[in-house]
């Protein structure tokens, strides 16, 4: 109890805006597993085609990069927390609208994916901007460690609860309504909308400012930022699979969303404690060690899936994936934000210019990863794509280690020169 009290008091010592952001993200963490896991499972269940899931994901990422661009203009007229709230709320409403569609053809999937991505674009770009401007390099490990702790805890509870709910309600009658699997998904999304409303209310307790410089569109950057964009592409290659691959593989090789929830839950427990402790005690110089640990673990997980391609292989892959993601992000985002701190001062530009270009870098990587999957699925076979596309992108992502190390070293040099 004393340890918990100490951690609570440490949290209370943080800046007001940082605390508001963390609590807002805690509520959104309840929504994220639904977006990341069960939407993909819903599409897979209603189409029985992994390529349709990949197509949905591709249109979603196109929506993200589109609204990231639009968001730059809107920041001239609206407060950042208004746009952030819009992203949170519309993500829930978009999910509910998609679940209400009776048939999922390619047009419906494309429109639903684009609008879901549009909401995510407002969410993620404004989240980056708020985190960048309301944290510093000394407390970012704690910020992202605690945030990853939230996401890991909810990755335990939410999939377990939703998986059990979907399995329990299928075929049951409540108040005269017979729940099939699709109606059960609709009930889940109603809960999601309610949680997003609470997150928006919390966010409005913060006092957030927009960037003073309004110009945000640039095409020429320093070599340091170009390297960071390369790192974003490597991250994006894998990110395109993290949302859909677990759902596709579990439904194909295991067959039940409830099992998906159990797998996520078991692996999330250890990860939650690990990332919180690392965020609390790790120093900026430890980021590369955390980073490479995540990379290697994910690569091992993809090998297990590719070699075994069975229920056991999927379980091992998802276990590695759930641990990899927060470890990777715990190191990646502070590295990215410290690089923005440096290059924004060098080039005297709006920080959002770098957040926008970073989204384009992520999009290029995501598009490459998903198009690779579609190419392998159509030209060889779906099973081959599910086995080896993940291994290919995870292997390529290992290149992120020397690149991240180079970026960190160069940023250190730049920041030291600024202090002289």
Mean pLDDT of 173-199: 74
The per-residue pLDDT for 227 is 95
Tell me which of 22-26, 47-51, 226-230 is least confident: 47-51
**Residue 222 token pair:** 């320093």
What is the per-residue DSSP string for 80-102?
HHHHHHHHHHHHHHHHHHHHH-S
The per-residue pLDDT for 167 is 74
**Would 6 be classed as within a structural domain?**
no
CA distance 204 to 210: 14
Kindly tell me if the per-residue pLDDT of 377 is higher than 70.
yes
| Residues near 152 by beta carbon (within 8 Å), at least 6 away in sequence | 268, 271, 272, 275, 322, 326
The per-residue pLDDT for 117 is 84
The per-residue pLDDT for 37 is 60
Kindly tell me if the per-residue pLDDT of 178 is higher than 80.
no
Bigger pLDDT: 246 vs 30:
30
Kindly tell me if the per-residue pLDDT of 267 is higher than 70.
no
**Would 3 be classed as within a structural domain?**
no
183 within 8 A of 191, measured Cβ to Cβ: no
The per-residue pLDDT for 339 is 94
Bigger pLDDT: 13 vs 50:
13
The per-residue pLDDT for 243 is 63
Reported as a pLDDT band with limits 50, 70 and 90, residue 335 is: very high
Reported as a pLDDT band with limits 50, 70 and 90, residue 299 is: very high
**Would 212 be classed as within a structural domain?**
no
Domain total in the chain = 1
**Would 210 be classed as within a structural domain?**
no
**Would 111 be classed as within a structural domain?**
yes
CA distance 332 to 94: 29
Kindly tell me if the per-residue pLDDT of 291 is higher than 60.
yes
Bigger pLDDT: 28 vs 296:
296
**Would 144 be classed as within a structural domain?**
yes
Bigger pLDDT: 183 vs 70:
70
The per-residue pLDDT for 265 is 64
Kindly tell me if the per-residue pLDDT of 196 is higher than 60.
yes
The per-residue pLDDT for 415 is 83
Bigger pLDDT: 18 vs 56:
18
What is the average pLDDT value for the chain, to the nearest integer?
A: 82
Mean pLDDT of 106-134: 85
Mean pLDDT of 381-392: 86
Look at residue 220 and give its three-state secondary structure: coil
CA distance 340 to 346: 10
Look at residue 208 and give its three-state secondary structure: coil
**Would 211 be classed as within a structural domain?**
no
Burial of 363 (0-12, 13-18, 19+ CB in 10 A): buried
Kindly tell me if the per-residue pLDDT of 256 is higher than 70.
no
CATH of the domain at 139: 1.20.1250.20
Where do runs of H (alpha helix) occur along 101-222?
A: 106-133, 140-169, 181-203
Where do runs of H (alpha helix) occur along 309-350?
A: 311-347
Mean pLDDT of 126-144: 88
Domain that holds residue 242: 12-204+218-419
- pTM of the predicted protein model: 0.82
Reported as a pLDDT band with limits 50, 70 and 90, residue 340 is: very high
Kindly tell me if the per-residue pLDDT of 98 is higher than 70.
no
Kindly tell me if the per-residue pLDDT of 213 is higher than 60.
yes
298 within 8 A of 324, measured Cβ to Cβ: yes
């Amino acid at each position: 109890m004393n340890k918990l009290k100490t951690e609570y008091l440490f949290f209370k010592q943080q800046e007001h805006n940082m605390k508001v952001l963390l609590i807002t993200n805690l509520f959104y963490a309840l929504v994220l597993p639904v977006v990341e896991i069960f939407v993909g499972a819903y599409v897979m269940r209603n189409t029985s085609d992994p390529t349709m899931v990949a197509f949905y994901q591709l249109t979603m990422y196109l929506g993200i990069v589109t609204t990231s661009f639009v968001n730059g203009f809107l920041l001239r007229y609206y407060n950042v927390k208004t746009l952030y709230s819009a992203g949170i709320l519309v993500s829930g409403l978009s999910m509910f609208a998609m679940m209400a569609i009776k048939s999922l053809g390619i047009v419906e999937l494309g429109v639903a994916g684009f609008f879901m991505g549009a909401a995510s674009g407002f969410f993620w770009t404004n989240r980056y901007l708020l985190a960048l401007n309301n944290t510093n390099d000394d407390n970012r490990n704690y910020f992202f460690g605690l945030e990853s702790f939230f996401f890991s805890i909810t990755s335990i509870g939410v999939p377990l609860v939703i998986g059990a709910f979907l399995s329990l309600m299928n075929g049951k009658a409540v108040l005269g309504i017979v729940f099939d699997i699709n109606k059960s998904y609709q009930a889940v999304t109603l809960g999601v909308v309610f949680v997003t409303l609470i997150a928006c209310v919390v966010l409005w307790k913060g006092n957030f400012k927009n960037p003073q410089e309004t110009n945000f569109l640039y095409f020429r950057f320093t070599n340091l930022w170009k390297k960071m964009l390369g790192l974003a592409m490597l991250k994006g290659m894998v990110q395109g699979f993290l949302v859909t691959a677990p759902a596709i593989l579990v439904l194909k090789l295991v067959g039940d969303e409830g099992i998906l929830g159990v797998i996520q839950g078991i692996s999330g427990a250890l990860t939650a404690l690990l990332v919180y402790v690392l965020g609390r005690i790790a120093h900026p110089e430890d980021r590369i060690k955390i980073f490479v640990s995540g990379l290697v673990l994910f690569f091992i997980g993809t090998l297990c899936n590719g070699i075994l391609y069975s229920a056991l292989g999927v379980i091992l892959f998802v276990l590695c994936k759930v641990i990899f993601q927060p470890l990777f992000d715990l190191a990646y985002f502070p590295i990215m934000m410290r690089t923005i701190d440096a290059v924004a001062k060098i080039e005297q530009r709006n920080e959002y210019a770098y957040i926008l270009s970073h989204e384009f870098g992520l999009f290029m990587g995501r598009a490459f990863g998903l198009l690779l999957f579609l190419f392998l699925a159509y030209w060889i076979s779906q099973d081959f794509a599910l086995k080896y596309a993940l291994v290919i992108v995870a292997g390529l992502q290992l290149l992120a280690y020397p690149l991240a190390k180079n970026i960190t070293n160069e940023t250190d040099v730049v920041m030291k020169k600024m202090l002289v």
